[in-house]
Amino acid sequence: MLDGHLHLQTPEGITLPLTPAGPPKRALAWLLDFIFRLLLGLFMVFLINLPGFSGRLETGLMLLVAFLLLWAYPVLFEIYGSGMTPGKRIVGIQVVRDNGLPIGWREGVLRNLLRAADFLPMWYGLGLVAMLLNSDFRRLGDVLAGTLVVYRPQKKKTKAMPTGTPRELPFPLKPEEQHAILDFVERSGQLPPARRFELANLAEPLTACTGQASLQRLQDYAAGLTGNGHATRPDSQP
């Protein structure tokens, strides 16, 4: 299927839904992290200035802080923040191993040290080229460490399906076709009316009517398929 997902098989015979995140999202996360590091750095500079050390001691401490912010910040956050630096957390992406499991020290250190190579010649130019050449948007560090940056699963509320009167299908449908009907009925609330009716018209061979009537009929079938809906209405036909 061409849906941008990676379908990873597990020993239990199911597939894990992971969606690799592309360069724009990751650039945004990096930018946010950059701002956080800058703010953190400024705050540390403020703290270092407080006790009134001499100038050279202050500069030495600042260089140490700069070192930690450059190299340790992404490593520590990714290892202890389940694959997310603060920027990635806000953007909603996450680093995982290429088998979908959380990363450990090895992966976290490798992929972040290789930033030095990905950053070349400037602003992650090489990393971008590597991402575009790779089917899973991996930069050099990701290839080396065997990691992926994927979208974090979002907490979705289960959508309430529009209720209808349960109705039997006029002829049997294949599971994929039943799935398509359910998918459409679930999403119909989010579509503009014109589009909704246009799609409902496509089901005319099944519903034998068009527009609002067809949509209503599809909702009835969906209710029949899932077992959802009003128990029985006196005027409903079996």
Partner 1 sequence: MKQKLFEAHYAGLWQSIEASLGSDTPAADFPERYRALCHTLALARQRGYSPSLVARLSELALGAHRLLYGAPEKRELVLMRWVRRDFPRLVRAEWRVVLLSLGVFLFTAALVALAVYSNRDYAYSFSSAYELSHYESMYRDGLERFGERKADSDMLMFGFYIWNNVSICFRVFAGGVFFGLGSLLFVAFNGVHFGLIATWLTLNPETVNNFWSFVITHAALELTGLILAGAAGLRLGLAILKPGRLSRGASLRAAAGRILPMLLGAAIMTFLAAFIEAFWSSRADMPPLVKYMVGGLLWAAVLRYLLFAGRGES
CA distance 95 to 99: 11
- Per CB under 8 A, the list member of 153, 170, 189, 193 interacting with partner 1 is 153
87 Cβ neighbours under 8 A, 6+ residues apart: 28, 29, 30, 31, 32, 33, 34, 36
Backbone angles phi and psi of 79, in degrees to 5: -75, -45
Question: How many of the other CB atoms lie within 10 Å of CB of 203?
Answer: 20
Question: How many of the other CB atoms lie within 10 Å of CB of 116?
Answer: 12
Q: Which stretch binds partner 1 (CB under 8 A): 5-13, 189-197, 206-214, 230-238?
A: 5-13
| Nearer Cβ to partner 1 (32/65) | 65
Do 144 and 114 contact (CB within 8 A), yes or no?
Answer: yes
Closest CA to 6 of 156, 149, 133: 149
- Per CB under 8 A, the list member of 210, 216, 228, 236 interacting with partner 1 is 228
Classify the C-alpha dihedral 74-80-82-85 as positive or negative.
negative
Q: How far is CA 207 from CA 109, 168, 174, 201, in A?
A: 58, 11, 16, 9
Binding mask 188-217 for partner 1 (x = CB under 8 A): ------------------------------
168 binds partner 1 per the rule CB under 8 A: no
Nearest approach in angstroms of CB 92 to partner 1 is 14
CA distance 207 to 90: 45
- Per CB under 8 A, the list member of 84, 140, 148, 218 interacting with partner 1 is 140
145 binds partner 1 per the rule CB under 8 A: yes
| Nearer Cβ to partner 1 (140/200) | 140
- Per CB under 8 A, the list member of 90, 113, 128, 191 interacting with partner 1 is 113
Task: Note the Cα 98 to chain centre separation in Å.
Answer: 15
61 binds partner 1 per the rule CB under 8 A: yes
44 binds partner 1 per the rule CB under 8 A: no
178 binds partner 1 per the rule CB under 8 A: yes
Residue numbers 89-108 binding partner 1 by CB under 8 A: 100-102, 104, 106
List of residues contacting partner 1 (CB under 8 A) = 10, 12-14, 16-18, 53-57, 59-64, 66-67, 70-71, 100-102, 104, 106, 109-110, 113-117, 140, 143-146, 153, 156, 158-159, 161, 174-179, 182-183, 186, 222, 225-228
